Structure 1
Amino acid sequence: MTESRQDSIHRLTNAFDFHDPAYTPDVAEVVNREMRERNPVAYSPAHGGMWIVSRYEDVQAVLRDHETFSSGAGVHFPRAKGMPMFSPIDYDPPEHSDIRRLMAPPVGKEAVRRLEPSFRELAAELVSPLAERGHGDVVAELARPFAIRTLGATIGLSEDAQREIRELTRNMWLLLSREDDSSGFWPQYRELLSSEIQKARASSEDSYLAWLARAEVDGEPISEELLYSIVVSYCVAGHDNTMNTLSRMLWHLARSPDTQRRLREEPELMPVAAEETLRRWSPTDRFTRVTTRDVTLRGVTIPAHSRVVLLFDAANRDPEVFPDPEEFRLDRGNSHKHLSLGHGIHRCLGAHVARLEFTCVLEELARHPVYRLVTEPRCVFENGRHTMFEEIRVSFADTAAAAPGGDA
């Protein structure tokens, strides 16, 4: 007998499991809200046992207290054996601080300013053909290539690598939590990274990857393990979250031509639109930590060595912090306080790059006709945590039929 949506919500609220097939993005929004309001510090027996934290105040406190809530066991859970650590998110101090310094050069404010002309040129290159044709898929033709090619420009990836990264990442997310070991995905990814690192070492180009491949710490070359950890982290996080946030922003604006027109009239609101997108639809629905000691939240004691799941989506829609949290509002005023880019020592290294990417795409789209959805697309999870659209088909014409759901 097929389980009804309401039965799935009830079951998952009482025995949370973000890898359950029934935990789809639309079900997740309801489950996350119910847990936040009814049981903000909850236990689930899934995957050997885990604790779920969902209120903004508590999630923020956990992210701030890295000594009690460790990342050192890896933030992805469950996790296939043999998968390398992701830098710097899977490390605690002091290693975390050293790794973050190694990763900082290509994403600092000055480096991002130098990237801006090429980002704007790429946005125009991708948007113009879509608009001139009058229709297309803004995931396949805009969000995905823009995210991957800006990543390539930021760290120095070859065009060959850029063509392979998405499928390798998709395969990794498909298998990371389902398999006992990483043999079905990591060797293929490592082969690509090895090729890129070898090219970088032999290159005379002034790219970040070339610098990193020859970098030393305390007079010694950085270990191969750390080198692969840094490069795979850039390859994955450097395109996934950008692609998914851009897709969600384009989806929302395609359903709301009035919001598009307002952004054209008040372009200073474009950064606000990006922050509100990140708040309302976190591209990474959750991360995890492991407790280093017994700790009490809201009167509930979580034992030492417990896996803790942080529901970013629920926290970002906590009405105690964001009134009318389900609404997308350009006048909210505190959208930037969302937790989608992390908090504390693990705040997203690439935040400056991401914000430039979002602004470049919005500004370029504003030079073309208003666009609307042709059909309502399907949103899915990758690895139980990344919300994404496979495709979003739009029409660049004010006379296009209104999208399902109207001018929401």
Structure 2
Amino acid sequence: MDFDVTQDWHVASPYDFLRTLRHQQPVFHSAHLGAYVLTRYADVRAAYGDPRVFSSKGSLTISRSLTEETRRRLGEHGSFLSSFVANVDPPDHTRLRRSVSRAFTPRAVAAMERRFRELNENLLDRLAGRREADFVQEVAHEPSVKLTAAFIGVPESDESFVQHRVKDWFQLFLSPQPPDRQLELADSFLTYLDYVDRLVAARAKEPRDDFTSLMTSLIGKELTHREVVELISTILLGGNDTVPNQLGNSVLRLLREGLWPVPPERIPNAVEECMRIDGASLGSFRHTTAEVELHGVRIPAGALVLLSTDSAAHDETVFPDPETFVIDRANADAHLVFGYGIHFCVGAALGRLQLRTALEVLGRRLPGLKPVPGAPVAYRRSIVGRGLPSLLVQW
């Protein structure tokens, strides 16, 4: 058995497979991924903490499954993300992270919490007369999409355009696609990059009170134009995809466990346990800069390595009885969903805030929420992400 996201079991429930790897092959060479996979918590954490040997440079750059024709279509943008903060090493990483952190002050995050709460309340006001919805399609995404758009400076009229293009980007780079579909997605991606490029140019001429204007003001001083385009493009991915996916995963888990609604005082830890047991992010790729020997396996220099945070979060040596959801698990927040070390996610505080706020508002407004009986539940296929395309609920 190997890592194979074309199989439904792989994203939905790979834990028996991962447990076997942790016990028998903690450093596993995956022919399907063309990568070595680290599965034990201690090894994953140590690799995150050693960027000199486990380099981020180029780790997100271009899916290995793209055809030559697709690569030609993308041209210079085939190396997209080459200067994104999670895809570089110091000193570039230090400079980029310092610039981005200016936008995530405690005051700015608090203001976003108020706005996010309003967005959730407004959405539920509109659903007040309903008794059924697709949670993923109609509830989970909109508040996060709108908050992220306002933060970045995307006009409300462009939110739908950005959301669809971000989904295309995710499919192109992070899930296996047939050749013809790759070309369609590549064209969509180039259109998206052109949009962000024009947004940056517009804010350079007429700055506003948004993230794009703040980053654009640093061009020529701390950042390049391309770095700003990639920063904006990738933050839009988090708000349009990763956070809503985590919310969908979390609500499904809480409903299945019979823990809905979660009492407000238990929500912060419930969020951490949901991320641990059903993380929307499954891991990160790295390249080795030198030969590494681990558990008797030699990983050559220049090898691709997957740090499996999904496996680490189910490591029984760190999380006793890992397949059981424990709402008050003392070390639930020790999961590595946001990474670790210098590459710890710069938007982690905002992501946690959104999840806590959404569960509080949804639990108060929809205390009788439950899955539609018999409705199918299937996870989308992806190399590094777990999310539901649909979740039918009623109340």
Specify if TM > 0.5. yes
Q: Aligned to 2:114, what secondary structure does the other structure show?
A: helix
Name the CA shift for 1:34/1:130 in 2 (closer, same or farther; >3 Å): farther
Name the CA shift for 1:232/1:153 in 2 (closer, same or farther; >3 Å): same
Paired letter, 2:28: A
Q: Determine the C-alpha separation between the residues in 2 that align with 1:162 and 1:227.
A: 19
Q: Determine the C-alpha separation between the residues in 2 that align with 1:109 and 1:173.
A: 30
Matched ranges for 1:240-389 at <5 A:
240-257=241-258, 259-261=259-261, 263-264=262-263, 267-368=264-365, 369-375=367-373, 376-389=375-388
Q: Which residue does the alignment assign to 2:18?
A: 32
Name the CA shift for 1:348/1:382 in 2 (closer, same or farther; >3 Å): farther
**Count of aligned positions:** 375
Contact kept, 8 Å, 1:377 with 1:389, in 2: the verdict is: no
Q: Which residue does the alignment assign to 1:41?
A: 27
Deviations 1:36-79 (A, max 9, x none): 222111112335x3211100010000000000000102235427
Q: Determine the C-alpha separation between the residues in 2 that align with 1:333 and 1:131.
A: 37
Q: Determine the C-alpha separation between the residues in 2 that align with 1:361 and 1:102.
A: 28
Q: Determine the C-alpha separation between the residues in 2 that align with 1:88 and 1:206.
A: 22
Q: Does 1:74 align with 2:32?
A: no
Runs of 4+ in 1 over 3 A off after TM superposition: 18-24, 128-132, 177-185
Q: Aligned to 2:37, what secondary structure does the other structure show?
A: strand
Which is further off, 185-194 or 284-293? 185-194
Which is further off, 369-378 or 94-103? 369-378
Q: Determine the C-alpha separation between the residues in 1 that align with 2:382 and 2:364.
A: 36
Name the CA shift for 1:278/1:201 in 2 (closer, same or farther; >3 Å): same
Which is further off, 234-243 or 25-34? 25-34
Q: Determine the C-alpha separation between the residues in 2 that align with 1:66 and 1:360.
A: 34
Name the CA shift for 1:78/1:198 in 2 (closer, same or farther; >3 Å): same
Matched ranges for 1:3-402 at <5 A:
11-12=1-2, 16=3, 18-21=4-7, 24-46=10-32, 49-75=34-60, 77-78=63-64, 80=66, 81=71, 82-85=78-81, 87-176=84-173, 178=177, 183-218=186-221, 222-257=223-258, 259-261=259-261, 263-264=262-263, 267-368=264-365, 369-375=367-373, 376-396=375-395
Q: Determine the C-alpha separation between the residues in 1 that align with 2:256 and 2:102.
A: 38
Q: Determine the C-alpha separation between the residues in 2 that align with 1:20 and 1:293.
A: 32
Give the TM-score normalised by the residue count of structure 2. 0.88
Paired letter, 1:36: R
Q: Determine the C-alpha separation between the residues in 1 that align with 2:393 and 2:199.
A: 36
Q: Determine the C-alpha separation between the residues in 2 that align with 1:293 and 1:248.
A: 37
Q: Aligned to 2:85, what secondary structure does the other structure show?
A: coil
Identity %: 27
Q: Determine the C-alpha separation between the residues in 1 that align with 2:237 and 2:381.
A: 12
Contact kept, 8 Å, 2:116 with 2:357, in 1: the verdict is: yes
Name the CA shift for 1:146/1:285 in 2 (closer, same or farther; >3 Å): same
Q: Aligned to 1:136, what secondary structure does the other structure show?
A: strand
Name the CA shift for 1:355/1:26 in 2 (closer, same or farther; >3 Å): closer
Deviations 1:331-381 (A, max 9, x none): 211000000011011101111111111111111123223210004443323
Which is further off, 144-153 or 158-167? 158-167
Could you tell me which runs of 5 or more consecutive residues in structure 1 were left unpaired when the two chains were aligned.
1-10, 397-408
RMSD between superposed Cα atoms in Å:
2.2
Q: Determine the C-alpha separation between the residues in 2 that align with 1:115 and 1:52.
A: 37
Deviations 1:275-295 (A, max 9, x none): 111100111112110000011
Q: Aligned to 1:381, what secondary structure does the other structure show?
A: coil
